[in-house]
Every structure is written in C-alpha cells, then in structure tokens.
Structure 1
C-alpha cells in the first residue's frame, strides 16, 4: 500500500491517504463510511502497526472503484506533503554506506578511505523535512557548497531495542525516498549535523510504501538528476550495511520507536566527488527517484 499525507487545499488540515488507482483515498473517511475507526494522520496510523495496514488494505480492496462520496479525490487535485511532515525525533542518517561513495568522499571531504567497520551515524532535525515540490533553501551567507544525496529511507513500525539482525526487518513499517542535502562547507570539527541539518535539507516522499510490498529493500534502483542531468544511479544492493544491519546496530544502544526514520546512505555521484566539484544554486532543480516508491522534484531557491 502506498500511503501519503495530503492536503485538499492550502487551508485544509493535513490528512492520511492511500494512493489507489490514480486517486487519493482518505482512510479515516473511508473507515467512517464503512464502520472502521482509523486515524487521520500518518504517525497515528503507524502506531497501530501491521493490523491497521491489513484492515486498510482490505477496505480498499472491498471498495474497488466505488468509494463513498467524499472519500476519494483525483491525485492531481490534492497537494502531497512529506509522508511524515513532522517526525517526532531526528532522522537517523547513515554516512559512507556505499563503497564508491567512501572512495569519492576520501578524495574530496577528508574522510577515511577505509571502509567503515560500523555504520557511521549522524542526525537531521525534524525541521529539515519538506514534501514534494517544496523548495530547498539556499542561503549564500552560510554555504557555497550545497550538495545532493539520494537515499532509501526505512520507517520504523514497532519498538526495536537490542534486536537481532534476523528479526530487524519485522520492525520496519515501510520505505520512502529522502534527498539528504548537505552544505559541505558547514562541517564543524568532524561533526555533520549543521552541514546536513539545516531547514529544508531532507526532502521526503512522495509516499511510504508498506513493508509487505517491499519484502527485500536491497533490490531497489535509485537515481538523482540536477537540471535534468543524471548525477547518481545505483541500487540498494550495494549498501555496505543493509537495512536489517542498520536497525540492529542502532537499536543496540538507541531505542527505535514507531515513526523513526533511517536514511540509509547515498551512492557515488555527489557534487563534492566530481572533478571539478559541482554544487547546486538558486534556480536549479533537483529530482530523485526510487524504484517502487516514486519521484521527487524540488526547486532550489535563494533565502
């Protein structure tokens, strides 16, 4: 199931929906029309776990193409927001998680050329998150090296604390697409949060695909374009630390809770690794795509 957070018009409240046959179906309204109590927000829905996914999926299947009045709208008539517009906690970012990206980072960003023995973890605050088509903010007074990174995001569905790798994927609710924007000249004494944690630096969406539809997250193609020119293309099979390893590693010391987001790292092709180096500027457009999940498009604006 493809789950979205949407707004019918600019003044409307954000609501939970499911993409179904070119429409966005409001799950809470469909539930009310069929005698099922479902929440109107993504985080509340994630809290309910796999049972809610099963119930909602059955509701959609039962309705077919005949949805009660007011429960379904054409996708083109709604505004999609980030699936989780305001995460409860910082996003867990994973650095240096593709072999070729380790090599290009060592050449240009003073990181070690050795493959990490453990996941490299940083974080991005909730205020970094923006939804489809929203602008990425470029503040020239802060950065002259704004860079791109396309990534698979894993969304936690049930509390994970010291879980074994073989049990880890059972704690994943679903997957989404994140662009990890990075101001390369804003790293501070080896710390990355200011570089990667500024407002609008985590475009996310366009949906969350539930884990039952992606049984193996290590088979997905991902790509990124700047102004229509392809900059990154790879497959999640080439991650050094797979999704199950990341969940197990983080949960060994930090409890993962429903709605937590892990951005699993980027492949090679970032601007810092190019010769000459490339950066994005106001007026540029960044697009990214993840197999089975969808595509994001974001203009870069001056602030």
Structure 2
C-alpha cells in the first residue's frame, strides 16, 4: 500500500480535478477574442499577477486578443482548467504538464520554456549547523512546497530516494507548505529543520533581501532537469499557437520591453520545447507512485 502522504496526493488531486471548476469565475468562461491564461500557484497570487502583467500586455499586441490572467487556487485546478478548455494557456511546472498531458491523452502542447528550464534545479535549505548533506536529514523534519510541485516536491523526493532516503519513513515528519516562498518562511521560522524548493525563487528571495543566506543556507543543490513551460491545448488553432510561440521567441533582453518581461520571468530567453523533454519527470512521478 502507498504511504499515507502519497495516497492523499493521488486522492486529493483526483477530487480537485473534478471539483475545481468552481475555482474559476466568469472571467474564465469561453469568451471570443479573449486569451485566458493562468499559472500554477507556486508563489503568492499578487506576485504571479505582477510578474504576468507586462507579458500579458505584450501577448495582447502580438495576438490581437484581450489577455486575461485568471489565478487558480491549486495546482490541480490549473491542470483541470486547460484540459477542459476553461483556460487557453497555462504556465506549468514539469509535473503539472505531465499530469495534464496524461489526463488529456496527449492533447496538451508545451510551446516554449526558458533556457533556464533545460537544466532547472532544486535546493535544500536549513538553519541547522548539523545538516550538511541529504543523509543528515534522517530523523529530521522537512517541508516540501505543493504536493504537485516539480521543483518543490517531485524532484527533491526523487533525489532523496536516489540517496536511499525515503521521506515517508526515514524522516521524522514531512510537511507541505503550498508554495516555495512559504517553504523558506517555514525553515527560517523554525517550523521545520529543512526545506526543498525551486532554485529560481530561492535566488529571487535572497536578491530581494527576503531570505538571509547567512542564516538560512543551501546545503544541497540537485542535478539539472527539465521543468517549467507555457502550454496550450491542441485544439487551439495552429495559427494562434505560432503567434504565441513566435512572440515568446522574439523577446530580447537588449530592448527595454524584452528586458522587463524576461527579468520578471527570470529568463535569459525563451526557446521551443516538446513533450519528450518531460519523460524524466514522468518517470520520476511513476517511480514515486505519484502518477498512474
């Protein structure tokens, strides 16, 4: 039998996929001339909307459509939204893309990813001087992010298992903070001994002075793996898919607009991607018992 945390994830995700329709307001309904966009809620909703605003304005000009950003309450809602055509484009993590692709039977198309997503990484952080390696986590408490997060749960779990550490049996307790910034707050506040999160969010929090690396420090950085992408449903017209893809690929940090958008997305540039890039994520999810 699967450990309780994994059974809860599988059951919770299934229920959310059925019930999360209520998470969408009128803005998420199918309206002609509107591009309905969302993102996995791996950061605070206000931060997600702040990051998206310049990109949304740019895409509106590139496509001739009104672009509406509709926040969702959880990761499963972002999957449900795209699979059931309540959203037109979603910023997925690698695991949520795999979930959407499997659930839609291959009908979800990843258009672009950041260059950084070709070799994305997770970091493990702590305030404890006694923790300096993954092995030191035995008997300790650890916070992941969302249960459906690639960089905040799935891949950190995979690397722990690769180090012969089973989070469900070898750690004193695991928790799920719900978001990367919340994981940092939990570690810094002493609620857990350590945490795992997206390296990009960690670096952003350090740069913004919201995390002190002298107090809360990185003790392990994972190897690289493919992660985030912007995905659409295959029923979107090829012409519109091309406009959106071309708009992302045209972003250039040498222009003021391009620099603003790329900086907010923490990207050097965007590049094309494809489903094959996420086979490692799918294999890790199946191996961990998080995908059927």
Smaller-chain TM-score bracket: under 0.3
TM-score (norm: length of structure 2): 0.26
TM-score (norm: length of structure 1): 0.26
Q: Select the structure that is richer in helix.
A: 2
Q: Select the structure that is richer in strand.
A: 1
